Amino acid sequence: MAKRIATTAAVAQRTQPARAARHTTKSAPKVEPATKVKPEPDLPDTLSRVAKVKKEDSPNLKSTLSTPTKPKAIKKEDDAVPSSPPSSPTSISPPSPTKRTAATKNLPADLQARKLKAYTQHGSHTSPFPDFPHPTPSDCQRALTILTSLHGARTRPAQLKASATRAGCGDAPCVLDALVRTILSQNTTDTNSSRAYRSLNRVYGTTDDSDSKWAAIAAGGPAKLERAIRCGGLSAVKSRTIVSLLAQVSAHAGGSYSLEHLRTMSADAAMRSLLAFRGVGPKTASCVALFSLGHASFAVDTHVWRLAGLLGWRPRSASRDATHLHLDAAVPDECKYALHVLLVTHGKRCGECRAGGKAAGACPLRRAFPAEVTSGL
């Protein structure tokens, strides 16, 4: 038995090297003949050669390595500070007139000119939609009757008194104060605008409308005012608008802060003067004219604009500014104050007519106007 084991071990020792040799020969990679190695070329030649690699061999390798590409344009705001010109003067080309127009059409000076042009063209006497038939004077009277029955009568107060806690929307006896309050009310709720107005008075330590208050706001600059009215929303925009407004008022009034001279002007002249201020649009100017100056101006805010659409009182595509011009011409002067106030009230309270409301056939105001009228929206 021992002799058999020794014989088996000897055979295994003799066959193991042969098997290893066969395995090595079978799995060894095929050796290619040696090729001549070329010297490494300079970097530009290398880039040029790499750029010629076929796209299917390297799909992620762009073929533009040897050709500089034009940098991607960065979109900037219209009022952004222009970037430094490129170092190579040959790369500068003057923009086309079309591009110049597109780049500057929303600059503050251009917006100011456009709103003045629109108001001067139509004023409070003609509509930008002369062929649109509604509202007629009878439409306005019918709506006023219905709204009065729903929400009560609205008449001008015998004496206008400013609230110390509520910002309002132009209802203040001091014209400049009314204008600032209305700016605070833009694109926010009554609660937020009133909170911002109270905070402003706390920060600047006064609730009056004297020159000292406006001078303190102007001297403090936009940053301080922004912190004071942050609770009202859009504080960065509104603070810049108010400080800019005060500078414009002071420049026009010889250093004082007053707009009381607007009371001596006609309604159209006062509107043009208000619209001439940067940051004051038709809605803001119309609110000041209607409530503070006591003029027959039909202000159009988001509620009035929405209801005008639901009642068929404006074309479907009419903007708020165009709707203001249209309704200011169409609504009789004697209806403007009450109808504006009641439409705003109804737009906030009516479940069918407020923002996001759905028609359920229960609103008396919407039932009063036939389907053929609203179908033209």
Distance CA 260, CA 262 (A): 5
User: Which DSSP string corresponds to 69-131?
Assistant: PPPPP----TTSPPPPPPS-GGG--PPPHHHHHHHHTTSHHHHHHHHHHHHHHHTTT--S-TT
Q: Are 222 and 193 in contact (CB under 8 A)?
A: no
Other CB atoms within 10 Å distance of the CB of residue 160:
15
Instruction: Report the C-alpha gap between 369 and 298 in whole angstroms.
Output: 21
Cα Rg of the chain (Å, integer): 38
| 170, 198 contact by CB (below 8 A) | no
CB 259 within 8 A of CB 249: yes
171 CB-side CA count, 13 A: 17
Residues 319, 301: Cα–Cα separation, whole Å: 11
Q: Over the range 309-346, which residues count as b (16 or more CB within 10 Å of their CB) and which as e? A: bbbbbbbeebebbbbbbbbbbbbbeebbbbbbbbbbbb
Peptide bond into 135 cis (omega under 30): yes
CA distances to 30, 170, 181, 293 from 178, rounded to whole Å, are 93, 4, 5, 10
> Does 36 participate in catalysis according to the annotation?
no
Checking phi first, is residue 152 left (phi over 0); if not, alpha (psi -120 to 50) or beta?
A: left
Which helix (H) or strand (E) segment holds residue 303: the answer is helix 302-310
Distance of CA 156 to the CA centre of its chain: 33
Which residue among 30, 283, 336, 348 is the active-site one? Answer: 283
* Residues belonging to the active site: 283
